């Protein structure tokens, strides 16, 4: 979101979707900042949703959500680190990393729930199970430009950054490092080998571990 007044454009479709799934929102808890009163309160009042305000700088009043924010952020940072994208590209796709971490969190069972959150709220299994990809994986997207020279490339390289919402399950969000824009496409005709970090030491054979952990000592020289 480019500004806080855009929160209404994100929450209103969510409230409608939850209501259609039989999971109507009873209350929204947030701090009593000016933008919440100016933009969020009229929306909630129009939908019959109760507003619960908390004092500023008191996250303990909304502890579960505040802890979830930190968990999602750390998962997004881990995805960015594992993808090995440079700082310039990280700056363009950090929001995509957070969104993808949220999607995967909602599609994953936890210790408290026997089913994923998506199944609990929408009564359907998450679509991402069959098309899981590592964040930042290189994919070659078909170039559908109508006029191309005979020797021009028929595809261009992108990085996987997420799953397209309200699309078929094989539609992905791909980041083009040349244009620095994210596109939604199902025309990823080929995936490159994963370029993330190599296996950790304890996944290697014992002989390889010994060579890494205890390399041979160099012979000592005498003067």
Q: What are phi and psi of 172, to 5 degrees?
A: -120, 155
4 located within any domain: no
Identify the helix (H) or strand (E) that includes residue 181: strand 181-185
What gap in Å lies between CA 129 and CA 139, rounded to an integer?
18
125 located within any domain: yes
What gap in Å lies between CA 160 and CA 130, rounded to an integer?
15
What gap in Å lies between CA 100 and CA 170, rounded to an integer?
15
> For residue 117, is pLDDT > 50?
yes
Amino acid 33: pLDDT: 77
19 located within any domain: no
Q: What is the mean pLDDT of residues 157-185?
A: 90
22 located within any domain: no
> For residue 201, is pLDDT > 50?
no
Confidence band of 135 (pLDDT split at 50, 70, 90) = very high
Q: What is the pTM of this model?
A: 0.71
> For residue 177, is pLDDT > 50?
yes
Residue holding tokens 């003067």?
A: 223
Residue 100, C-beta contacts closer than 8 angstroms, at least 6 positions apart: 76, 79, 135, 161, 162, 163
What gap in Å lies between CA 176 and CA 164, rounded to an integer?
15
Residue 141, C-beta contacts closer than 8 angstroms, at least 6 positions apart: 155, 156, 157, 158, 174, 183, 185, 187, 188, 189
8-state DSSP, 203:
G
Confidence band of 92 (pLDDT split at 50, 70, 90) = very high
When divided into structural domains, the chain yields a total of: 1
Confidence band of 220 (pLDDT split at 50, 70, 90) = low
139 located within any domain: yes
* Encoded tokens for 129: 């199970």
Amino acid 197: pLDDT: 54
CB burial string 73-90: b at 16+ within 10 A, e below: eebbeebbeebebeeebb
57 located within any domain: no
47 located within any domain: no
Domain range for 120 is 78-218
Which residue did the predictor score with more confidence, 110 or 183? 183
Distance linking the first and last C-alpha atoms of the chain: 69
Q: How far is CA 96 from CA 15, 122, 175, 214, in A?
A: 22, 23, 9, 41
Amino acid 202: pLDDT: 42
Q: How far is CA 71 from CA 18, 58, 98, 119, in A?
A: 24, 19, 10, 21
Which residue did the predictor score with more confidence, 209 or 75? 75
15 located within any domain: no
Confidence band of 37 (pLDDT split at 50, 70, 90) = confident
């Amino acid at each position: 979101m480019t500004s806080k007044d855009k929160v209404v454009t994100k929450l209103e479709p969510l409230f409608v979707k939850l209501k259609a799934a039989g999971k109507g929102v009873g209350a929204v808890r947030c701090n009593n900042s000016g933008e919440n009163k100016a933009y969020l309160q009229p929306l909630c009042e129009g939908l019959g949703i109760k507003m619960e305000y908390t004092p500023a700088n008191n996250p303990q009043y909304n502890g579960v959500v505040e802890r979830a924010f930190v968990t999602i952020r750390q998962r997004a940072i881990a995805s960015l680190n594992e993808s090995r994208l440079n700082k310039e590209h990280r700056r363009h796709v950090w929001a995509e990393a957070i969104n993808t971490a949220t999607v995967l969190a909602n599609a994953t069972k936890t210790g408290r729930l026997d089913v994923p959150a998506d199944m609990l709220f929408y009564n359907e299994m998450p679509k991402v199970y069959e098309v899981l990809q590592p964040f930042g994986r290189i994919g070659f997207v078909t170039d559908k430009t109508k006029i191309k020279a005979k020797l021009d490339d028929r595809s261009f390289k992108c990085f996987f950054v997420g799953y397209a919402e309200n699309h078929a399950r094989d539609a992905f969000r791909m980041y083009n490092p040349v244009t620095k824009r994210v596109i939604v496409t199902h025309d990823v005709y080929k995936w490159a080998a994963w370029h993330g970090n190599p296996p950790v030491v304890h996944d290697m054979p014992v002989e390889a571990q010994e060579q890494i952990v205890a390399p041979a000592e160099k012979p000592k020289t005498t003067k």
